[in-house]
Amino acid sequence: MKPFSFERIQTLHATLDDAWSFFSDPGNLVKITPPAMDFRITSTQQPSTYAGQIITYTVRPLLGISMNWTTEITHVSKPDFFVDEQRFGPYRFWHHQHFFREVEDGVEVRDLVHYLLAHDQLAGLVNHLIVAPRLKKIFDYRHTALQRIFTAPA
């Protein structure tokens, strides 16, 4: 089955170094995740992302049900991109690419996610009705949170 994909692009009023510092610190995930998801990092936190890093956390993505999730940072090219991949969690496959590039007004942040769901026969319907709208809602929250964190200079 072909993976589903989700892409979001946002420009932040920040330097490339500031954007990289924020996004490469896993502890900042809680600041850009909707509070209702009760996101909690359960692994020892490191100050910066590196290839091979394992991050474990609990999250309540749907109906308040708590899930354990384990990701590995598989690729890092500071300050241009990093990739996290789910090792254990709610998806059959999860590959999240984070890209950063300087633009005229600051830094363009591009998220590209490819994912597969557990049941091929129902995946299209479940994605259309539940997963894709939920991802959109999560990234809408993230967009707003990032705009607050990286406010335009006065």
CATH number at residue 41: 3.30.530.20
State residue 146's pLDDT score. Answer: 97
Domain assignment present for residue 89? The answer is yes
Please count the residues of the chain: 154
Place of tokens 């992302």: 49
pLDDT confidence bin for 97, thresholds 50/70/90: very high
Amino acid at 141: Y
Query: From residue 31, how far is each of 40, 84, 101 by CA, in Å?
Result: 11, 18, 22
Number of domains in the chain: 1
Mean pLDDT of the chain: 93
136-146 pLDDT tens trace:
999 999 999 99
Domain assignment present for residue 55? The answer is yes
Q: What is residue 109's three-state secondary structure? A: strand
